[in-house]
C-alpha cells in the first residue's frame, strides 16, 4: 500500500486529511512541523508528501528543498492559502509536483493525489526496467551490450577467481583500469590491496625503487628503507599500467619476479618473496613493440596468459545509448537539476555515431557531463554540446574522403552516401532503423538508396 505523509501545523486538519486519504486506500502518516516531517521521512518509506505552505519555523518551501535534496523523485504537493500564488509558483519551480489552494473539497484533493501517485508509479517502473536492463548489460559499472563487451564480461567472470596474469589492451579511455579493478574486486583477493603503478609516469631509476623498494642508503636521498609496490601488493593485485613504457632494464627484472617470484630491494641483497596477482595494461600494440625489439618477447608471453582486448568506442556504437543513459543517471544522482535530463535527442545521436571518439568512453562521459550542465530542458540537444567537441565532430565529417577539387553537389552526395551506408551498417540493413538513425522517413531513405544506387545487400 502506498504511504502519504501529511504535514500541517494544525493537528486537527492533518487528522481530517488523513481520514479522507485512508478512505481512498492510502496509508497515511502525519507531522505537525517540518522537523517532524523530516523525522518521519527518516523512519518510514513514503511515496508522496502533502504539505502546508505556511508553518512556523520551517515553512513548506524549506521542507520541499530538504526533501528534494534527499530524493528528487519523491512527489510533493503544496497546500497554499488563497491569494499566495507567488509562493505556489516558487514551490513549483523548486520541484513541487503540484499545488492545491485551501480551502479545497475532498474530490479535488483525491484527484491531485491520484495523479501524482500514478506519475510516480510510471517513473518507478521505468527506473526498475532500466536497472534490469543495465544489470543485464553490465558487469559492475562496466557497461556494454555489444557482443565484444559481452565477451569481455565473460572473460572477466572466468579469470577473476584465478591468479592468472592478465594483459589488458585498448586505446586510451576504453576502460582498462576499470576492467583491472573489476577483476580484482571479483576475485578471492578483493579484501586485499589493489596497487596500481603507472610505468610511464616515472624516470627509470625512480620507477625501479617504486616497484621494488629500496634499502636505506641505496642512493643519495634514500634516508630510510622503503617498501616497493610489489611488497605493498602482497597477497593482493598489482596493476602495472602502461606496461609498454617499461624500460628494458626493468623488463628483465619484472620477468625474473614473474618467473621466480622473488626480488631484492634496490641496494639490498635479501631475496623477498611475494604472492601477487599481476594485471598489466597497455594502449600500445605490444606484439608490434616486440617485433620492433622494444619489448622483450619472453616477458610478453609471461604477461599474455589471458588477454583482454577492449574495443574502441567507435567499434561498438550500439553501446552508445546505454552508456549515455548510464552517465546521465550517474550525474543526475550527483547533482540536483531543476529539470532532470532524460536523454539525448536524435540530432545528437547522429553526431555521436558519426564521430570517431579518439578518447573513447572517457571522452564520451566528459561530453555528456558538460552537455548536462548546459542543457536547459530535459533532452540534450546539439546546442548543449561543448563547442570544441562539435567543431571537431563536424570537421571530421567534412574532411573525410573529399577530393580538394570536389564540387558542392558531389561532396554532399558523397557525405550523404557515406552516412546512409554507415547507418545501414549500424542497423544491420534494417531500413526502418537506419531511417531512424538518420532522422528521415523510411520511404525517403528508400528513395535515396535507389537514387544513389546503393547495393545494400553487399554491405557487411
Ligand X SMILES: Nc1ncnc2c1ncn2[C@@H]1O[C@H](COP(=O)(O)OP(=O)(O)OP(=O)(O)O)[C@@H](O)[C@H]1O
Binding-site ranges for ligand X (CB under 6 A): 141-144, 170, 172-178, 283, 361-362, 365
Q: 184 and 233 in contact (C-beta within 8 Å)?
A: no
Using CB under 5 A as the binding rule, whether residue 363 contacts Mg ion is answered as: no
**Residue 309 vs 428, nearer CB to ligand X:** 309
Instruction: Report what 365 binds from ligand X, Mg ion, none; CB cut-off 5-8 Å by kind.
Output: ligand X
Q: Rounded to whole angstroms, how far apart are CA atoms 77 and 7?
A: 10
Using CB under 5 A as the binding rule, whether residue 242 contacts Mg ion is answered as: no
Q: How far is the CB of 310 from ligand X (least distance, A)?
A: 7
Using CB under 5 A as the binding rule, whether residue 90 contacts Mg ion is answered as: no
**Residue 165 vs 198, nearer CB to Mg ion:** 198
Q: Which of residues 16-35 bind Mg ion (CB under 5 A)?
A: none
**Residue 200 vs 259, nearer CB to ligand X:** 200
Q: How far is the CB of 176 from Mg ion (least distance, A)?
A: 5
What SS3 string covers 304-321? CCEEEECCCHHHCHHHHH
Q: How far is the CB of 152 from ligand X (least distance, A)?
A: 8
CB closest to ligand X, residue no: 175
Q: How far is the CB of 238 from ligand X (least distance, A)?
A: 16
Instruction: Report what 173 binds from Mg ion, ligand X, none; CB cut-off 5-8 Å by kind.
Output: ligand X
CA–CA distances in Å: residue 18 to residues 22, 96, 103, 267, 322: 6, 20, 16, 78, 42
Any idea how long the chain is? 460
Q: 63 and 70 in contact (C-beta within 8 Å)?
A: no
**Residue 31 vs 142, nearer CB to ligand X:** 142
Residues in a beta bridge with 214? 226, 266
**Residue 14 vs 325, nearer CB to ligand X:** 325
**Residue 143 vs 299, nearer CB to ligand X:** 143
Q: How far is the CB of 143 from ligand X (least distance, A)?
A: 4
Q: Rounded to whole angstroms, how far apart are CA atoms 346 and 53?
A: 41
Q: Rounded to whole angstroms, how far apart are CA atoms 344 and 324?
A: 8
Q: Rounded to whole angstroms, how far apart are CA atoms 36 and 33?
A: 5
Q: Rounded to whole angstroms, how far apart are CA atoms 342 and 347?
A: 15
Please count the other Cβ atoms lying within 10 Å of the Cβ belonging to residue 91: 24
**Which among 212, 208, 201 has a CA at the least distance from the CA of 241?**
201
Q: How far is the CB of 290 from ligand X (least distance, A)?
A: 19
Q: Which ranges in 44-186 belong to alpha helices (H)? A: 60-70, 85-93, 106-136, 147-159, 176-185
Q: Which stretch binds Mg ion (CB under 5 A): 150-158, 174-182, 300-308, 320-328?
A: 174-182
**Residue 177 vs 363, nearer CB to Mg ion:** 177
Which of 177, 234, 264, 436 touches Mg ion by CB under 5 A?
177
Q: How far is the CB of 274 from ligand X (least distance, A)?
A: 24
- Half-sphere exposure in the Cβ direction for 166 (13 Å, CA): 30
Residues that bind Mg ion (CB under 5 A): 176-177
Amino acid at each position: 500500500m502506498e504511504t502519504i505523509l501529511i504535514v500541517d501545523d494544525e493537528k486537527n486538519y492533518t487528522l481530517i486529511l488523513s481520514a479522507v486519504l485512508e478512505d481512498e486506500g492510502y496509508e497515511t502518516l502525519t507531522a505537525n512541523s517540518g522537523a517532524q516531517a523530516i523525522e518521519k521521512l527518516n523512519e518510514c518509506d513514503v511515496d508522496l508528501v502533502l504539505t502546508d505552505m505556511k508553518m512556523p519555523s520551517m515553512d513548506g518551501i524549506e521542507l520541499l528543498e530538504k526533501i528534494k535534496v534527499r530524493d528528487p523523485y519523491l512527489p510533493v504537493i503544496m497546500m497554499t492559502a488563497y491569494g499566495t500564488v507567488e509562493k505556489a509558483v516558487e514551490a513549483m519551480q523548486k520541484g513541487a509536483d503540484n499545488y492545491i489552494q485551501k480551502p479545497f473539497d475532498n474530490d479535488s484533493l483525491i484527484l491531485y493525489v491520484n495523479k501524482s501517485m500514478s506519475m510516480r508509479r510510471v517513473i518507478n517502473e521505468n527506473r526498475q526496467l532500466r536497472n534490469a536492463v543495465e544489470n543485464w548489460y553490465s558487469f559492475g559499472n562496466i557497461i556494454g551490450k555489444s557482443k565484444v563487451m559481452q565477451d569481455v564480461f565473460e572473460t572477466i567472470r572466468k579469470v577473476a577467481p584465478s591468479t592468472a596474469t592478465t594483459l589488458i589492451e585498448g586505446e586510451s579511455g576504453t576502460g582498462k583500469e576499470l576492467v583491472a579493478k573489476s577483476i580484482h574486486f571479483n576475485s578471492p583477493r578483493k579484501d586485499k590491496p589493489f596497487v596500481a603503478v603507472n610505468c610511464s609516469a616515472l624516470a627509470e631509476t625512480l620507477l625501479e625503487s617504486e616497484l621494488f623498494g629500496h634499502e636505506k642508503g641505496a642512493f643519495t636521498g634514500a634516508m630510510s628503507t622503503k617498501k616497493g609496490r610489489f611488497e605493498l601488493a602482497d597477497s593482493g593485485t598489482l596493476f602495472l599500467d602502461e606496461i609498454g613504457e617499461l624500460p628494458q632494464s626493468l623488463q628483465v627484472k619484472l620477468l625474473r619476479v614473474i618467473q621466480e617470484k622473488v626480488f631484492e630491494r634496490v641496494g639490498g641483497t635479501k631475496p623477498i618473496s611475494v604472492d601477487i596477482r599481476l594485471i598489466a595494461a597497455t594502449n600500445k600494440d605490444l606484439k608490434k613493440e616486440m617485433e620492433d625489439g622494444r619489448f622483450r618477447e619472453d616477458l610478453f608471453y609471461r604477461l599474455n596468459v589471458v588477454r583482454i582486448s577492449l574495443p574502441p568506442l567507435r567499434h561498438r556504437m550500439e553501446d552508445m545509448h546505454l552508456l549515455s543513459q548510464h552517465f546521465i543517471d550517474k550525474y543526475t544522482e550527483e547533482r540536483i537539476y531543476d529539470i532532470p535530463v532524460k536523454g539525448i535527442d536524435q540530432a545528437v545521436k547522429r553526431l555521436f555515431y558519426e564521430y570517431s571518439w579518439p578518447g573513447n568512453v572517457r571522452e564520451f562521459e566528459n561530453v555528456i557531463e558538460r552537455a548536462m550542465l548546459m542543457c536547459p530542458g530535459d533532452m540534450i540537444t546539439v546546442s548543449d554540446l561543448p563547442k570544441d567537441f562539435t567543431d571537431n565532430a563536424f570537421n571530421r565529417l567534412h574532411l573525410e574522403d573529399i577530393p580538394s577539387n570536389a564540387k558542392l553537389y558531389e561532396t554532399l552526395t558523397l557525405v550523404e552516401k557515406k552516412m546512409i551506408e554507415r547507418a545501414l551498417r549500424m542497423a544491420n540493413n534494417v531500413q526502418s532503423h537506419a531511417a531512424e538513425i538518420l532522422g528521415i522517413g523510411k520511404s525517403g531513405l528508400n528513395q535515396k538508396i535507389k537514387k544513389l544506387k546503393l547495393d545494400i545487400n553487399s554491405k557487411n
